Amino acid sequence: MPRVRSIFLSDIHLGTRACQAGRLLEFLREYPAEHVYLVGDIVDFWAMARGIFWTSEHNTVLQKVLRRARHGERVIFIPGNHDEALREYAGTVFGDIEVHAEYVHQMADGRRFLLVHGDEFDQVTRYHRWVAVLGDMAYNWLVRVNTILSWCRRRLGRAGYWSLAGYAKRKVKTAMQFINDFENSVIHAVRQRGLDGVICGHIHAAALREVGGLTYANCGDWVDSCTALVEHDDGRLEIVEWGAATLLSLPAPVTEEVGECAS
């Protein structure tokens, strides 16, 4: 198994029909790590308020993460807006899982990255919650339609995975502008804090790129794209799209490791 130094997961949305827990379990079996970072929206309390959908696979995801924590992997959970009720427990430990409002992770090459879910930089989520809830419902509808389309594609013998929600994001100009504005806001905050990069989630759009000398990395999600970030022993970051080829990686030299809570 390709053991890595760190894995970064966000936007799993356990408790919803859209959650692809089975594919996540496959990924977790293949990627043991020293550090596991859960970067928000792991359990979807917003959706569960409308109706709970919880399967044995959802249970197994939680059990597997808890087992990894018990067996020596350091697991850090940073709540997002969909599991924001858990933010009041920042600074505590549950079943060997540390809860932090945010965290600074030091890569193997010495670079320091802010780990934050990212809803803090989303003006709609912060100031117009009802719009965010409606948008979330619309997104979940697209994902459920995509499930039907995927079944039809398999019946027709069409290979590969096609994402309706991803297609909508690429084609709708306002959605792309939202993503660009979000990324710029996050990078600006990281630059002000004197860090080398950021790893976040929230917008369900996996990314790994250099922006003005800083690294912007987004974990993506396990609802639509099934993506995660991994850090290799040399500090190199890589996006893994489960069931597809690796999307992108950025190289880095090696030094020692350190981690610290962000103030």
146-184 pLDDT tens trace: 666 565 656 776 655 555 555 555 544 455 565 777 888
90-118 pLDDT tens trace: 999 998 999 999 999 999 999 999 999 99
Amino acid, res. 185: S
How many domains is the chain partitioned into structurally? 1
The strand pairing partners of 198, in sequence order, are 114, 216
Q: How many CB atoms lie within 10 A of CB 64?
A: 14
Q: Write out the residue range of the structural domain in which residue 171 sits.
A: 4-261
DSSP 107: P
Q: What's the rounded Cα separation, in Å, for the pair 157 and 8? A: 33
Q: What's the rounded Cα separation, in Å, for the pair 15 and 54? A: 5
- pLDDT of the chain, 263 residues: tens digit per residue: 678 999 999 999 999 988 999 999 999 999 999 999 999 999 999 889 888 899 999 999 999 999 999 999 999 999 999 999 999 999 999 989 999 999 999 999 999 999 999 998 875 444 444 344 555 565 665 666 666 656 565 677 665 555 555 555 554 445 556 577 788 889 999 999 999 999 999 988 899 999 999 999 999 999 888 999 999 999 999 999 996 544 445 554 433 333 445 53
The strand pairing partners of 115, in sequence order, are 103, 199
Going by C-alpha positions, the residue among 194, 197, 176, 170 that lies closest to residue 186 is 197
Half-sphere exposure of 190 (CA within 13 A, CB side): 31
pTM: 0.77
Q: What's the rounded Cα separation, in Å, for the pair 107 and 130? A: 38
User: How far from the centroid of its chain's Cα atoms is residue 70's Cα?
Assistant: 22
Tell me the CATH number at 81.
3.60.21.10
Going by C-alpha positions, the residue among 4, 56, 1, 71 that lies closest to residue 233 is 4
